[in-house]
Amino acid sequence: MKERTVKSCQSVVLLSDIHGNLPALEAVLADVEAHGQPNAYWVLGDLVAFCPWPAETLARLRALPNVRFLRGNTDRYLATGRRPAAPVRSADDWAQMPARLRMREANFCWTLERLSFEDYLFLRDLPTRLETEVPGYGPILAVHATPFDDETNWLPDTPDEAIRPHIEGIDSRLLLFGHTHRQMDRTVGNVRLVNPGSVGIPLDGDPRPAYARLAFTDGEPQVTLHRVEYDREAVLAELEQVNHPAREWVGGLIRRAAPG
């Protein structure tokens, strides 16, 4: 598992799961600027797949000052050609599987066609962990989903006992992650778990882009969770304009702000 150690930062903006939604990202960055620029940005993965602006979103993220990135599961799918499992739980699942697999592959291919070879190399070489030491506090760790994989969902209502065995061996008292598209700030055992939510496709019933700001005061972490307004209709219109192969599915996620 690739790791990257970064210099300690006293104020960090956490962004995750942008998914190529440039208008949502711009709205978040405007809100960040209104609250004061941080010392650093940490981007916790899932950068470009699904929404209509993959290359533009990646360029905007890479232009941020003092920015560090993690690789998310969809970044891995794009860079490696691997795909998530497609479990069959019912006869309906089985009947719908061919169409779902065709749409999924068309979605990833559409994104790849809009990325450069240099973009591909960037996604391929992203680390899976970021670690830093904060003076007066100790180590903090950031991953995309969990310390052991990039696909497991730790939700706000996931029982402590389902999480605790997987965090007992980490050195950090603060674990940062994304992946679920749901904001979270809770403590399991002696580890604080912070999820900034999704910039591009929130799935917690609130369609507003989400992010978090982390700062340290007297050696203790202070986390603020933020939501911002943006023009969802512009994204829905662009999905139609570019004839995106997954426009109905992605558009439904953006409208509902819920899985489906």
**What's the pLDDT tens digit per position in 242-256?**
999 999 999 999 999
Neighbouring CB atoms inside 10 A of 32's CB total: 19
Report the pLDDT value the prediction gives residue 88, as an integer from 0 to 100. Answer: 87
How large a percentage of the chain has pLDDT more than 90? 88
Kindly indicate the confidence band of residue 1, based on its pLDDT and cuts at 50, 70 and 90: very low
The CB-side HSE value for 16 (13 A sphere, CA atoms) comes to 33
**Whole-Å CA distances, 205 to 35, 246, 259:** 25, 21, 9
Rounded average pLDDT over 215-221: 90
Q: CA 108, 114, 117, 118: dihedral to nearest 10 degrees?
A: -110
- Tell me: domain 4-85+101-127+195-256, CATH 2.40.37.10, correct? no
Delimit the domains of the chain by residue range.
4-85+101-127+195-256
Distances (CA, A) of 211 to 27, 63, 70, 159, 250: 11, 18, 15, 24, 20
Mean pLDDT to the nearest integer, 129-137: 93
Name the band, by pLDDT with cuts 50, 70 and 90, for residue 200.
very high
> What per-residue confidence (pLDDT) applies to 6?
53
- pTM of the full predicted structure? 0.94
Q: What pLDDT digit, counting tens, does each position of 15-52 carry?
A: 999 999 999 999 999 999 999 999 999 999 999 999 99
Q: Is residue 209 predicted with pLDDT exceeding 90?
A: yes
pLDDT at 86 over 70: yes
When pLDDT is cut at 50, 70 and 90, the band that residue 8 belongs to is low
Provide the 8-state DSSP code for 204.
S
Measured in whole angstroms, the distance separating CA 59 from the mean position of its chain's CA atoms is: 16
Mean pLDDT of the chain: 95
Distance CA 201, CA 146 (A): 20
With a cut of 60, say whether residue 183 has pLDDT above it.
yes
Contact 211, 15 (CB under 8 A): yes
Encoded tokens for 84 = 């998530």
Q: Compute CA distances 224 → 181, 211, 216, 249, whole Å.
A: 16, 9, 11, 31
189: left (phi over 0), alpha (psi -120 to 50) or beta: left
